[in-house]
Structure formats: structure tokens, C-alpha cells
């Protein structure tokens, strides 16, 4: 597994690669625009060229993007659905411009209309967008904690989308250790059972693994990320995951809180120190 972090794009998208290098990241996740806004100024040619030049040296296939938190492709509210589609297309287009191969997104919330309603709408919208735009970027649906009416807290939800989409070859999965644990997958006590399950269902569609500790109980359905080693999962879990040969090519990305005046460098080093010699 590659070890890296979600880095800031403050000052320009290319700056994230500088942060990644100074933190010792082997892989990187970024937002392609402000994640709490629907719209942003288009990327300039200069933004794009500077990013690609640095990304080629860093390793372009070790970079992924994370979607805006506003997007809900299964919303029953017409205006939210329309804005979500527009924002999704804009962010996927930014990934294409920056040559980023993976775009991570939460499956969305059905807001009371039911899981089947939500999943069908998600498949329809993904298919509509891919058939119109033919994006090369692979969409990675992230496993979630299952707060409220959020979909994605069961492997079956993501499997359903892959099975029913006409573009299944362009859809993969992003695991998140804090979310999986909150959703009831006991990575602390049944590590192999959980990882075997996801590998048997998704195989090499597992491209990204968010490496987050958590202080919320297994099955609590509460989404809280904790500093590596300071949560319930603990260093024992992270040692297993960074040394797991089945996850060899996966991008391991920190999305944890950091201490004052720290960057991700400290936690990246903690994870690297858990690697056993081959
Ligand atoms: Zn995550």
C-alpha cells in the first residue's frame, strides 16, 4: 500500500503536490475546487500545466480527487439533484484536465425515500453523465458510516451500483477504516474477515483506502475521524493494513485531524514506521 494524505490546494492545485512531497506522501488526495461550494472559477491553462508537470514527477496514477460534500446524486429534491449533477460534471471535468485517474464520492442520501429509490437514482444519474461525457476518470464510491439516510454503509449498496450501471468498468470502491468500523464492520477484532469480504466482492476495484482512526463504536453509524493510534482501531489495525499484500497497489490516504502546527508528515511517518521488512 502507498501511504499519503489529503492535502490542501490553497494557493493553487499544484501546491498540493509540494505539500505531499514535504510530508513524505507516496500518494495524494485533493479537492479539485472548494469542497463546500457548488461553483468555482475554471482552472486556468497555467494551473493545469503546473499541476501536470509536478504530477508526472510525483506519479500521476498515485493521485485521487475527492468530491464536494454538497453533491447528492440521489436527492429526491429536484433542485439539489440538478445542482449535484452540474457540480459532479464540473469536478469530473477538472479531474480530466488535471489527468487525475480517480474521483472519490460518497454514494449520497435518499432523505427518507428509501435505499432502493436512492440506489436506482444514483445508477441513473451516473449512467446519464457517463453516456453524455464519456469521462476516462474512474468514479470510486466510498463506504460510509451510514449517518442519517446516507447510503454506502453496506458493501451491497456499492455492489448494486456496479452491477446495475452500464459503465461498471468505470466504477470502483474507496474503503474508509473509520466509516467501515462505524458501519459495523469490525476491523479491530475481525480484520481478515472484513478485508476478505471486500476483496471477494470488489477485487482490484479497490483503489483507495482512507486510513482514519475513530473513537466511535463499531456499529454506531457515527462518522468521526481520529488521529492515527489515538482511536479504537489503534496502531495494531494500521500495522495490519499497511503490511497487507492483498492491498499492494492501493492508495492509502490519511483524512485525520492534525495537531496544532503539524502537517500530515508526523502521521505519515507513524504509518511508514509500521511497515515490516519484506
Ligand atoms: Zn473518507
Instruction: Calculate mean pLDDT across residues 176-197.
Output: 98
Cell numbers found for residue 215: 473513537
Instruction: Calculate mean pLDDT across residues 177-186.
Output: 98
Ligand 1 geometric centre to CA of 203 (Å): 19
Mean pLDDT (the chain, rounded):
97
Give the number of other CB atoms < 10 A from CB of residue 125.
18
Structure confidence by residue, pLDDT tens digits, 262-277: 999 999 999 999 999 7
Residue 277 confidence (pLDDT): 75
Q: By the 8 A CB rule, do 152 and 141 touch?
A: yes
> Is residue 83 pLDDT above 90, yes or no?
yes
Residue 33 confidence (pLDDT): 96
Q: What is the DSSP letter of 112?
A: T
Ligand 1 geometric centre to CA of 240 (Å): 19
Confidence of residue 278 (pLDDT cuts 50, 70, 90): low
- The CB-side HSE value for 27 (13 A sphere, CA atoms) comes to 26
Known binding positions for Zn(2+): 66, 106, 142, 176, 179, 210, 223, 225, 255
The share of the chain scoring above pLDDT 70, in percent, equals: 100
The yes/no answer on whether domain 2-273 falls in CATH 3.20.20.150 is yes
3-state class of 27 per DSSP? Answer: strand
Ligand 1 geometric centre to CA of 255 (Å): 7
Q: If 0-12 CB within 10 Å is exposed, 13-18 middle and 19+ buried, where does residue 204 land?
A: exposed
The share of the chain scoring above pLDDT 90, in percent, equals: 99
Instruction: Calculate mean pLDDT across residues 133-139.
Output: 97
Cell numbers found for residue 22: 514535504
Residue 185's nearest CA partner among 226, 244, 145 is: 145
Ligand 1 geometric centre to CA of 105 (Å): 9
Ligand 1 geometric centre to CA of 138 (Å): 17
Ligand 1 geometric centre to CA of 175 (Å): 7
Residue whose cell numbers read 449512467: 127
Amino acid at each position: 500500500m502507498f501511504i499519503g494524505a489529503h492535502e490542501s490546494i490553497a494557493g493553487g492545485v499544484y501546491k498540493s503536490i509540494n505539500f505531499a512531497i514535504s510530508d513524505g506522501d507516496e500518494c495524494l488526495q485533493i479537492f479539485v475546487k472548494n469542497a463546500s461550494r457548488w461553483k468555482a472559477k475554471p482552472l486556468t491553462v497555467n494551473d493545469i500545466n503546473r499541476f501536470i508537470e509536478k504530477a508526472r514527477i510525483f506519479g500521476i496514477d498515485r493521485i485521487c480527487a475527492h468530491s464536494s460534500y454538497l453533491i447528492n446524486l440521489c436527492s429526491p429534491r429536484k433542485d439539489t439533484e440538478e445542482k449535484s449533477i452540474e457540480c459532479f460534471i464540473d469536478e469530473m471535468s477538472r479531474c480530466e484536465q488535471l489527468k487525475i485517474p480517480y474521483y472519490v464520492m460518497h454514494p449520497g442520501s435518499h432523505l427518507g425515500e428509501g435505499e432502493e429509490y436512492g440506489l436506482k437514482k444514483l445508477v441513473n444519474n451516473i449512467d446519464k453523465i457517463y453516456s453524455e461525457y464519456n469521462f476516462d476518470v474512474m468514479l470510486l464510491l466510498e463506504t460510509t458510516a451510514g449517518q442519517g439516510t446516507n447510503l454506502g454503509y453496506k458493501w451491497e449498496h456499492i455492489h448494486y451500483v456496479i452491477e446495475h450501471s452500464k459503465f461498471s468498468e468505470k466504477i470502483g470502491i474507496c474503503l474508509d477504516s473509520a466509516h467501515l468500523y462505524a458501519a459495523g464492520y469490525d476491523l479491530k477484532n475481525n480484520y481478515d474477515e472484513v478485508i476478505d469480504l471486500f476483496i471477494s466482492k470488489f477485487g482490484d476495484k479497490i483503489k483507495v483506502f482512507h486510513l482514519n482512526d475513530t473513537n466511535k463504536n463499531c456499529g454506531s453509524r457515527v462518522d468521526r475521524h481520529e488521529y492515527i493510534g489515538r482511536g479504537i482501531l489503534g496502531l495494531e489495525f494500521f500495522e495490519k493494513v499497511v503490511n497487507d499484500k492483498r492491498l499492494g497497489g492501493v492508495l492509502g490516504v490519511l483524512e485525520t485531524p492534525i495537531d496544532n502546527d503539524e502537517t500530515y508528515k508526523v502521521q505519515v511517518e507513524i504509518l511508514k514506521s509500521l511497515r515490516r521488512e519484506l
